[in-house]
A and B are shown apart, each in its own frame.
Chain A
Amino acid sequence: MPLQIRLDEQLHQQRMTLTELSERVGITLANLSILKTGKAKAIRFSTLEAICRVLQCQPGDLIVFEDDEEEGAV
């Protein structure tokens, strides 16, 4: 999938664990794991807002678009 989730990098920058984030944003660890591993089909604005607020980042820091096909063609 061209959309990459950069949750790990942001967690690392903030020196925070996934469990800690889960407690602070009020989203289950299971759901955050789905997001982290790129298995989520969609993300609610409320989830995105909560994560950005806690990790003090922008949505663009969390979600990055990388077109694999174009890279392969070059």
Chain B
Amino acid sequence: MKLNALTLSRLLVRILFWLNIVLAAAFVALLLWWSVSPHWIESILGAKYGSGKANEIRELMQAALLLGILTAAPVGMILAMLLRMIETVRAGTPFVAINAQRLRLMGWLVLGLQVADLIFSALGIYAGSLHADWQGSTPSLMGWLLALLLFVLARIFSEGVAMRDDLEGTV
């Protein structure tokens, strides 16, 4: 059977879309739980880092969770738009004005996510100063390049739409 990249992409993006929602919901649940009763997590953190730091580290973890929840929205939007774009390719009409708009919006959303990544890195530096175990990330150039690529692709799509419109009246 020939592997259809489009079908595979659609399946993968769908899985990621729902995974993003499930993770965001889990983050909300954790955040609510720790806000209502912080004793359990503080006792665990206190046992590991000492009771003096427990409160600070809990707040740091809550900030990271909040950031995760906030970034779930743009991630979800990007995945949803990607899914819609894949649908237009399947329908044989990818060069429509809405796809150019989608790509441009995706570019801005990726830029926003890059800013969130910087904030997350800052949280990592703060965690380092508290000597806390932290699964941090280092800011990478790829995300910024991706945003640039999306803006360029949006422009290419706009040109493609104009060319398709031209071709439509050709017999």
- Which B residues are in CB contact (< 8 Å) with A42? 166, 169-171
Complex Cα distance, B171 from A35, in Å, reads: 7
Looking at the complex, which one of A27, A40, A47 makes contact with B169 (CB distance below 8 Å)? A40
Complex Cα distance, B84 from A9, in Å, reads: 47
**Cross-chain pairs A/B with CB under 8 angstroms, 23 sampled:** A27-B171, A31-B171, A32-B171, A34-B169, A34-B171, A35-B171, A39-B169, A40-B169, A40-B170, A40-B171, A41-B166, A41-B168, A41-B169, A41-B170, A42-B166, A42-B169, A42-B170, A42-B171, A43-B170, A43-B171, A44-B170, A44-B171, A47-B171
Highest count of chain B CB atoms <10 Å: which of A35, A39, A41, A43: A41
- Which B residues are in CB contact (< 8 Å) with A44? 170-171
Having A31-B171, A32-B171, A34-B169, one finds 9 other A-B pairs with CB under 8 Å, namely A27-B171, A40-B169, A41-B166, A41-B169, A41-B170, A42-B169, A42-B170, A43-B170, A47-B171
Residue count of chain B within 8 Å CB distance of chain A: 5
Complex Cα distance, B71 from A72, in Å, reads: 65
CB distance from B156 to the nearest CB of A (A): 22
Residue count of chain A within 8 Å CB distance of chain B: 12
Complex Cα distance, B170 from A43, in Å, reads: 5
Complex Cα distance, B166 from A43, in Å, reads: 11
Complex Cα distance, B169 from A34, in Å, reads: 8
- Which A residues are in CB contact (< 8 Å) with B169? 34, 39-42
Residue of B nearest to A30 (CB): B171
Complex Cα distance, B169 from A13, in Å, reads: 27
- Which A residues are in CB contact (< 8 Å) with B170? 40-44
Complex Cα distance, B166 from A47, in Å, reads: 17
B143-171 toward A: CB 8 Å interface, digit per residue (1/0)?
A: 00000000000000000000000101111
Residue of B nearest to A40 (CB): B171
CB distance from A56 to the nearest CB of B (A): 20
Complex Cα distance, B168 from A16, in Å, reads: 26
